[in-house]
Structure formats: structure tokens, C-alpha cells
Amino acid sequence: MDIIFSAVITLFLVMDPFGNIPLFIAALKRVAPERRNRVLCRELSIAFAIMLAFLFAGRQILHFMSIEQYSMNIAGGIILFIISVKLVFNTEEDEGENKAPARAEEPFVVPLAIPLVAGPAVLSTLLILCSKADGSLFYTLIAMLVASALNAAVLTLSFPISNLLGRRGLVAIERLSGMLLVLMSVNMVMGGISDFIRISAGIIK
């Protein structure tokens, strides 16, 4: 249960739904209000299908590339650390530059499904989680289902949440998520280094 809970928190923070709210609003504000939920469900379903395919292909990718577990932990921790630093120190000017321009037509796959939901960070995190010991694929699948459901709930309520919290509130939540990711990324890197030292010392065959 602790493994699933930790994986859910990690995936949810990496998905960064609160940070994506302004981007989703910008992409959907010119879509007819009665079609917004339908478009959002379609994009989230596409993103989930991509993550699911990547999840089941993760072990094969690792085996084919001869990548060790500790290498994935260290690399994943570095990636998460970079993401977390961006979340914590992102300025309002950066937010303005990164906002997706609103389009007259409905968004399809890009940018909502990819890269805002099923982006490189989420896919690499899935690869790390499913590369662990036996049974981790099942745990990661459950965690992905729960995290995706939470992410979908937040994004479905994008417009009400944005009105309730305002821009400052969204930025505060995003930076808090970044701080939690910093801790997780450091723990992941240290775990990878620890495993590497044990293997090098011959403790783990």
C-alpha cells in the first residue's frame, strides 16, 4: 500500500494539474462551453492510452537498452529535480511565455494530451516505477489509474478552481508541489547511488 501511495503522489505531482490549469483554460476558452468537458475527456483518454502503452512497454525498453535499475533511479531523480526547480522558481514572466495561445479550433492531441498530460516527465517516471521488482507493474498500473483520476478531476474543474484560487493561489500550490518533488527526487537519486555502491561492493549479485 505504501508503494502505491508513494507512486500516486509522485505521478500526480509530476502531472502538475494545478500548474496546467492556466494552459488548459487558454486552450479551451474558445471552445463552446457545452463541448469543453467532451473535448477534455477525449484528450485525457488519449493521454491515458499513451501512458498505458508506455507502461507495458517499459520493461522491454529497459531490457533492450540494458539499463540497470540504479541508473533509472539516478536519471529519474535528476529529471524530477529539474522539474521541481522549475515549479518552485517559475516566474510570472515565464508563465506568460509558456502559456499556450488560445485557438479558434478545438485542440486535438497537442497540446493537451501531449505534452501537458502525457509528457516526457510522466512517461519517464512510469518507466522508472515499472522497472522495479516483480509486481511493480501492477502497483504502477493502480497508481497510474488513481493519479490519472485525480488529475482529470482537477482539470475538469479548471475554470471553477481558477476562479476560486486566482492566479496567486495556483502559483502557491504549484510551488508547494515543486518543493515536495525536490524531496522525492533527492531520495530517488540517493537510492540509486546506494544501490550502485552495494552492487559495486559485491553485496548484491
Q: In tens digits, what is the pLDDT along the chain, a chain of 205 residues?
A: 778 888 899 899 889 898 888 878 878 878 888 888 999 999 999 999 999 988 888 777 767 877 776 777 787 778 778 877 877 776 544 444 444 444 446 778 877 888 788 877 788 788 878 766 555 788 889 999 999 999 999 999 988 988 888 888 877 877 887 787 788 778 878 887 887 888 888 765 4
Instruction: Quickly list H helices, the chain.
Output: 2-15, 17-28, 33-65, 69-89, 92-98, 120-129, 136-156, 158-200
Q: What is the pLDDT, as a whole number, of residue 103? A: 43
Closest CA to 67 of 78, 56, 75, 77: 75
pLDDT of residue 74: 81
**All three cell numbers of 157:** 474543474
Query: Smallest Cα–Cα separation from 192: which of 64, 57, 56, 79?
Result: 79
Residue whose grid cell is 536519471: 75
Q: What is the pLDDT of residue 45?
A: 95
What is the structure's pLDDT at 101?
43
Q: What type of residue is 130?
A: C
- pTM of this prediction? 0.71
Rounded to 10 deg, the angle between the 158-200 and 69-89 helix axes is: 140
pLDDT number for residue 189:
84
Domain boundaries in the chain? Answer: 2-200
The answer to whether 35 touches 106, Cβ cutoff 8 Å, is yes
Decide: helix, strand or coil at residue 110: strand
* Cα(168)–Cα(51) distance, integer angstroms: 31
φ/ψ (deg, to 5) at 145: -60, -45
